[in-house]
A and B are shown apart, each in its own frame.
Chain A
Amino acid sequence: MANASENKIITLFSGFIMELNNAKSADEILDALLRIIRKVVSFKWITIIDENKSVVKEHPKDFEANVGRFNELIEWAFSNRTHSFYPVGDEIIGFLPMIKGDQVLGMILVGLEEEPKVEEIDAMRVFSFLSATVAENVRLLEEVVSKNRLIEETMNYLHSILDTFPEMVIVVSEEGEIVYMNRRFVEGENVEGLRERALEIASQVIEAKVRRVGEYESDGQFFSIVAEPLKYRNTYQSVTTIMNVTSTKELERLKEIDRMKTEFVANISHELRTPLAAIKAYAETVLDSLEMLDQSTLKDFMDTIHKQSIQLENLLNELLDFSRLEQKALKLEREEVNIIEVVEDAVEGLREKAENNGIRLYFSSSDDEVRAFVDPKRIRQVLTNLIDNGIRFSKRDSEDRYVKVEVKKEEDTVLIAVKDNGVGIPKDKFDRIFDKFYRVDQSLTYEVSGTGLGLTIAKEIVELHGGRIWVESEEGVGSTFYIELPLRGEGQRGNDRQAG
């Protein structure tokens, strides 16, 4: 007898567990509960209510239990947590609270024709407990799932906000891995070396736990990198923002040119006025006291006027060249010449000035004759400018001052070096000295005179010849300017170059 009933319980349990396995919602679990109760007792009707006494499920479908009439008994069974059966009219009505832990989640009301047996009551009670537990867990699971969905939606929302940022945003972990990147970064990441630079700054931030800023330049593009430390759980990460500031940089460059132009105007006025004032003063003296001046004094005066006018002419030529250069109208008049002679000519032209300044001027060449197809006047102009710079930027207090010019023929080119032991040029200015208006000494004291155009013009002339000009220098030691010219004049920008 006992065995048979144990088997029945086991069969019921097996069936119920199978149903629970397939149930995906709290509702389906209640359906399973209804089916299992039907297997335990034969009922006329069954109703499931929730903790607020609202009907959740009824069987048969069109049946209405009208649970309101049992209000008092329902309340009692809820508070007492007792599974009990009341005779009402010709029915026996079961009140089976669904309990999980100390919470009452609802109640099964079942209308029976006969009094249930002990075993049936126990079975119904256990199943109602079991389904309450499972249903509650499923409900919690559904809640977690819907919460997860909400979290996911919020995350997507945040992502799309971050994606609209004009900056690239990445988050770097302590292990140096990128754990987050916005769309802008994905798009801009192909800039060579940018990722490495950003990671480098991020790792500094994680190490130091303070904000760091940095820059990166690649292929004419400028990037500003700002990295902030971020404490996440027990580690530090870095929120790194990368902004393309190329347009800002370009603007800064134009502003700089503008500033240099203003400076240039002030400078050039000064440069023009100095010889002009001298010419004017000497000419006036000569005019006022012509009869009182002896021959040699007069010659001295006229000499000065002549020199100053040449200086003025040179300045004006330089300005003229520059204006041609600006208009892309600078033209070469090439002819085949011995370039050694051209260089030597330039050296000799400045020998007097060098000696007057206490500077020794050397010239040496690997060959006696190197034929080249160049504009000799322009090449001379370039060399004059370089040698003149060497003289002007010599170290005043130095004993042994020199400018050495060396010419060396190479396979298809000739290399001219102008070397001095003057003040030198700071390394970061190497490129800039060839920029128009640029002067290393930007103070307005003009210790050394000059328009700031000489090297710009020299560079343009060399490049028109298809050559190169560059500098090697050390501050306080001296500078060497190199000019490399092709011998055959194959420079793309030759005689027939069109004015732009």
Chain B
Amino acid sequence: MVTIDKLVEKIEELPTPDFIVQKIMNVASDPNASAKELAEVIMMDASLSSKVLKLANSAYYGIPRKITVLNEAIMILGFKTVRNLAMSVFTYSSLFSGRSDGKVDRKKLWRHFIYVAVGSESLGEILGYPVKEELFINGLLHDIGKIALDVMSPEIVEAVYDITREKNLTFSKAEELLDIPPHTLIGGKISEKWGLPDMITQTIEGHHNPSMFIDSLNAEVVATVHIADVISNIMFPGDSLSFGKPKLSPDALNILSIRPGMMKRFVEKLRKKMKKAEEFLEM
């Protein structure tokens, strides 16, 4: 039997985001930072900066003129969006850095990350949430526990995957059946270890059960990611190794005061944005 303690030990062995990514996170949340400073940090990694520029010029943002320097990208898209791009590039490379002989379809898992990120941001737009970029990064990282689990013990992930697929169950239900530490908890631990903001840690821990953080400062963010995750799982069953019928939290709907008409608009908007987000899927 795998216990959370044993897993935490293994977490220590996981790759930490490199220095540059850490720095990007820091600069982007420094109120006195300037575009120039952030650009300088990103430019320390040539591959990262070219990938960020590529994403900034992608159909997803549809900027009417081509951006050639990071500085401009930061000014036009904002610090947080550029931070998100850098974080996306990093998460993508972490996901695909390990061995790839398992049954788990990492491409689909990545697609899930991006769709939940895009979905959270779209829902934020519909709800009029002012800092929609925060929703993107929270959506992107919500299932980070699954990557960690796959890196630490791929056999567990495979066992879960077998059950969810054959018995048409959700990932969380399979975790319960197998009595293994849930990916939400593992993800939370990693988030803490990497020094990510509390908001992200809470989203990772609460994205299946937003009621946990109903009184938190981040209740809206957790609830938004939860809804985007549920919708994404319904639209693409199995992408996140989860099948069956995901449970939509009534608390999440209440926290955000979502009316039925909004859900319909959300799904329509999400479909359009998904098409524009192709470039995020293949980096």
Interface residues of A, Cβ cutoff 8 Å to B: 1-2, 5, 72-73, 75-76, 79-87, 92, 99-103, 115, 117-119, 121-122, 125-126, 129, 133
Contact = CB atoms under 8 A, between A and B. Distances in A.
B64 A73 contact: yes
B32 interface: yes
> Residue among B33, B61, B63, B127 with the most chain A CB within 10 A?
B63
Contacts of B98: none
A76 B32 contact: no
B32 A82 contact: no
A121 B32 contact: no
In the A-B complex, the 4 residue pairs with the smallest Cβ-Cβ separation, listed nearest first, are A119-B31, A101-B128, A85-B75, A72-B64
Contact of A80 (B34, B36, B62, B131): B62
A119 B75 contact: no
Interface in B53-96: 61-65, 72, 75-79, 81
A118 B32 contact: yes
A101 B63 contact: no
A401 B36 CA distance: 133
B132 interface: yes
Contacts of B131: 122, 125
Given A72-B64, A87-B72, A118-B28, A129 B130 contact: yes
Contacts of B130: 99, 125-126, 129
Nearest to A101: B128
B32 A102 contact: no
A87 B71 CA distance: 10
B76 A84 contact: yes
Given A85-B75, A101-B126, 20 more contacts: A5-B32, A76-B64, A82-B61, A82-B78, A83-B78, A86-B72, A86-B75, A86-B76, A100-B128, A101-B128, A102-B265, A117-B32, A118-B30, A119-B32, A121-B78, A121-B79, A122-B131, A126-B130, A129-B128, A133-B128
Interface string B137-162: 00000000000000000000000000
A115 B34 contact: yes
Nearest to A2: B31
A76 B63 CA distance: 7
A470 B79 CA distance: 110
A81 B31 contact: no
Nearest to A94: B75
B75 A81 contact: no
22 contacts: A5-B32, A72-B64, A76-B63, A81-B125, A82-B78, A84-B76, A84-B78, A86-B75, A87-B72, A87-B75, A102-B126, A102-B127, A103-B128, A115-B35, A115-B75, A117-B31, A117-B34, A118-B30, A118-B31, A122-B131, A126-B130, A129-B130
Nearest to B79: A118
> Residue among A76, A86, A118 with the most chain B CB within 10 A?
A118
Contacts of A133: 128
> Residue among B28, B33, B128 with the most chain A CB within 10 A?
B128
Contacts, number: 73
A111 B28 CA distance: 23
Contacts of B35: 115
A102 B34 contact: no
A80 B128 contact: no
A118 B33 contact: yes
Nearest to A119: B31
Given A99-B128, A129-B130, A80 B61 contact: yes
Interface residues of B, number: 28
Nearest to A128: B130
B141 to A, nearest CB: 21
A122 B64 contact: no
B125 A102 contact: yes
B262 to A, nearest CB: 8
A103 B128 CA distance: 8
Contacts of A100: 128
A11 to B, nearest CB: 15
Nearest to A133: B128
Contacts of A76: 62-64
Given A76-B63, A80-B62, A83-B78, A1 B128 contact: no
Contact of B75 (A79, A92, A102): A92
B228 to A, nearest CB: 16
B215 to A, nearest CB: 22
A68 to B, nearest CB: 15
Contacts of B62: 76, 79-80
A100 B81 CA distance: 21
A28 to B, nearest CB: 22
B77 A82 contact: yes
A73 B125 CA distance: 19
Contacts of B81: 82
Contacts of A118: 28, 30-34, 79
B78 A81 contact: no
Contact of B33 (A72, A87, A117): A117
B247 to A, nearest CB: 26
Given A1-B32, A72-B64, A118-B79, A102 B72 contact: no
A448 to B, nearest CB: 88
Contacts of A73: 64
Contact of B76 (A5, A85, A129): A85
Nearest to B36: A115
B120 to A, nearest CB: 14
A81 B32 contact: no
A85 B63 CA distance: 12
Contacts of B265: 102
Contacts of A92: 75
Contacts of A2: 31
Contacts of A101: 126-128
A277 B162 CA distance: 133
Contacts of A81: 125, 132
A2 B78 CA distance: 21
A117 B30 CA distance: 9
Nearest to B63: A76
A79 B63 CA distance: 11
